[in-house]
A and B are shown apart, each in its own frame.
Chain A
Amino acid sequence: MSDDPDKVWPTGLTLKEAEEVHSYLIDGTRVFGAIALLAHVLVAVSTPWLG
């Protein structure tokens, strides 16, 4: 494993790799949020939750 100066410890990822991982996590969270929003709308419409 060549000693890459961009690697940052303790994880050994480069900042670019960290941002890539993070972007996937952010996108996943957005998809989760959209699905949850749809679920809440359906529950609000079809149950006595909001009267």
Chain B
Amino acid sequence: MKARLHIFQTIAVATIAAAFLLGACEMVPKGSLWTEVEIALELPQELDVDLDLSQVEIRLQAKASPVAYVTNPDGQGKARIRVQPGRYDLLASAYYKATRIAVNANCPEFLLTEKGIVGDDGGLLPSIITLNLEVAIPNELVFREIYYHGSSTLEGASYTKDRYLEIYNNAGPGGRTVTLDSLCVSTIYPYNSTTGNNPWKGLDTLALAQMFWMFPKGGYTLAPGESCVVALVSAVDHSSRATSGLQLNKAHFGAYADHLSGHEISAGVTPMVCYMAGQGNTWAVSIHSPAVVLFKPEMGVDAYRADETTWERYEPGKTSGTKYWHIAKGWIIDGVECADSPEQSIKRLPASVDASYVYMRSPHYSGKCITRVLEDTIDGIRIYKDTNNSAADFTPDATPSPNLKRP
């Protein structure tokens, strides 16, 4: 009896003690796994101006969580950032106002593990990234404003027919008058920034999404300080239809073609010329993340369209399925990468066109747009910021203010 009680007491005490001890231990580790990445910036050798590299902002954007790490390098352009392993975009950018020089560089999405960066072949590379800064050359023609979010009807339903973009001659006083003939506007495939991957990442050619529109021959020009508004679907007066109240019947150009149902045009608006690069009966510009480009094929649009063998191809890595019309990145005059949100976004435009992306904080159908930042006004002519970095060049969530034709 006494021996049994002794055994029971031992077991009972051991059991209760084990309960408290095990509960006090960290049986499930809660430490945070982190790693370091080294970044080295290098200026172009041909640049003959001394730039302070410590003014360059380095931004490491996480792709799986809404977090970015921002820092500046030392004077030699070196920085170390301690971060959690994950998927990241890396952007380095700076604008030197005194010399009006902008530099950009980016590293497309990469995987950073606790042991290093994952290479294209799945192997591990050291966590050291060297970025060659490129000097951003300002463009004569730029997108001044892009309204893609849409608004709502007076009854509260979504409305997307009142969307437009505005092209501006940003050459400034003494700049060149530019002809619009044969210039083209389109969006780049994939349609949305939230698509899982971009098969054209790192390539010199980009795929056009669905269709592109050409300014008609007719001697249309833009002098410095002048702009033209292009209605994307309906060049009509929307003031009785939608909360945006946009009078796109005063737009300069309209994306209109007889075979596209849903497109409308008013008298006095010049129709653009439609070239199909896919299928559909409406121009499907993404309402949350289009990558918009202004380009001109170097051989001319007619010769470009005639050369199907070179420019109409399958998606990279595939030999069947949908064929896409491609353009060379060197043909792009201006481009803006609009993203739905920084994380989970793929990069469609090369860094030489747009080093980063701009994203709206307001919800879809909010009636807001992105508008380029005004940098200066000289002799009454506005000059907008153009560093080939849309995150710095554009203000999101702006109220649309297109420069429409005056009656």
Judge: A and B partners, yes or no: no
Residues of B with Cβ closer than 8 Å to A? none
Residues of A with Cβ closer than 8 Å to B? none
